[in-house]
Amino acid sequence: MAPRRVAVSGLGVISALGHDVASFWNALTGGRPGIGPITSVDVSNIRFQNGAEVRDYDPAQHFEPARADLLDRFAQFALIAARQAIRDSGIVFTPELSQRTAIVTGSSVGGQSTQDAQFLEVYGRHSPRVHPLTIPRIMPNAGASHISMEFGVSGPAFTVSTACASSNHAIGQAFWMVRDGAAEVAIAGGSETPFSFGFLKAWEAMRVVAPDTCRPFSRDRHGLILGEGAAMLVLEPLERARARGAPVYAEIVGFGMSSDAGHITTPSTDGPARAMLAALRDGDINAEAVGYINAHGTGTANNDSTETRAIRQVFGAHAERLAVSSTKSMHGHALGAAGALEAVATVLALRHATLPPTANFTTPDPECNLDVVPNQPRRAEVEYALSNAFAFGGLNAVLAFRRPDRKG
């Protein structure tokens, strides 16, 4: 089968910026961060106090009590985002289509809050047992499994775990499956809920979390801000989406991967650069045609300067004409869900010809001398955009998107 053009025809998001796509996009283009004091965990004995939490969330509004018992918070978010994306796409799963639909999700740590609470029972309280649903709640594939069960989608389904690149790897695999005909439709994205005491202590020990807020590319940046949430995208052949009158938010046109083969936590320039080049090559895209990059942009000293060098290495003189922003400044670093949230941000930037800014930016850094769209959104017709994700462990994944055709 000849490669098919692949459309993004449905979107779903739950994040610190709100519980749906509209609130996500409004906050992003308003430059309004969802970062504030962490309330779901007692952080009085943790060196950082701020995070990007999903606020005003009531599981009872989304799940019957018996169902909620089965679902860690991360799987709940995965389901909520998938419901939105499927409804948005208007897709109807006939028995034939169900078997030809793939689900690929990303998660770095799965049901972390369940693990934390249940292990506390045996280690801390010396309880003789943990809850019998501990394993099915913790498993990082729980999101994919529950999506498949709720919608009766019975094609290939799996979960990718590559730390902060998880959902870019997931969306990229799903894209390739649809492009090559291994699946007719795919539901792809990621989900993460890192706010549990033990996991926050582990991040404290890494000393990369900012005490204030996330200021990517700004000279006074002090690290990342952890975020939670989920985002899902419906992918299907462009012709199919058009034929049934579905929304076409953008095309997904390229996917590139690489590994640094270097240090377990310090990023290289070469690995990310090769992943960007691979995405361009995969989509047969001229570097000069790229107008926007949604950066990995974590706000750590190392990432942002290294990513700047990698972008300059790939784009040369064209780097001067590229807009590069980090929306982590607003939705936080959602780890295994980061790529999915940022894919939605990138797709909407193309669709609405509006680039979300890098919020919380105060002072230019010579080490990060790119056009980072500081603080204010920008109107810009962009044909191609990249979305970067570079994981601890040196595993890099880059997605390339193209704006929807103006007509038809």
Q: 372 to each of 304, 352, 359, how far by Cα in Å?
A: 11, 19, 10
Q: What is the CA radius of gyration of the chain?
A: 20
Q: Which residues form the interface with other proteins (CB under 8 A)?
A: 46-49, 205-207, 211, 222-223, 263-266, 302
Q: CB 394 → other proteins: shortest distance, Å?
A: 13
Reduce the DSSP state of residue 262 to 3 states and report it. coil
In the complex with other proteins, which residue's Cβ is closer, 204 or 270? 204
φ/ψ region of 149 (left if φ > 0, alpha if ψ in -120 to 50, else beta) reads alpha
Is the separation of the CB atoms in 75 and 142 below 8 Å? Answer: yes
Q: How far apart are CA 353 and CA 386, in angstroms?
A: 15
Q: How far apart are CA 180 and CA 336, in angstroms?
A: 25
Q: CB 75 → other proteins: shortest distance, Å?
A: 31
Q: How far apart are CA 348 and CA 91, in angstroms?
A: 20
Q: CB 221 → other proteins: shortest distance, Å?
A: 12
Q: What residue type is 120 in one-letter code? A: L
In the complex with other proteins, which residue's Cβ is closer, 223 or 357? 223
Reduce the DSSP state of residue 278 to 3 states and report it. helix
In the complex with other proteins, which residue's Cβ is closer, 206 or 289? 206
Q: Where does residue 125 rank: exposed (0-12), middle (13-18), buried (19+ CB within 10 A)? A: exposed
Is the separation of the CB atoms in 215 and 368 below 8 Å? Answer: no
In the complex with other proteins, which residue's Cβ is closer, 50 or 327? 50
Is the separation of the CB atoms in 392 and 336 below 8 Å? Answer: no
Which amino acids are annotated catalytic? Answer: 164, 296, 333
Q: CB 270 → other proteins: shortest distance, Å?
A: 18
Q: CB 336 → other proteins: shortest distance, Å?
A: 22
Q: What's the maximum distance between 2 C-alpha atoms anywhere in the chain?
A: 65
In the complex with other proteins, which residue's Cβ is closer, 203 or 401? 203
Q: CB 332 → other proteins: shortest distance, Å?
A: 18
Q: How far apart are CA 36 and CA 358, in angstroms?
A: 17
In the complex with other proteins, which residue's Cβ is closer, 24 or 48? 48
φ/ψ region of 393 (left if φ > 0, alpha if ψ in -120 to 50, else beta) reads left
Q: CB 49 → other proteins: shortest distance, Å?
A: 7
Pairing of strands 185-192, 229-237: antiparallel
In the complex with other proteins, which residue's Cβ is closer, 209 or 341? 209
Q: Which helix (H) or strand (E) holds 352?
A: helix 338-352
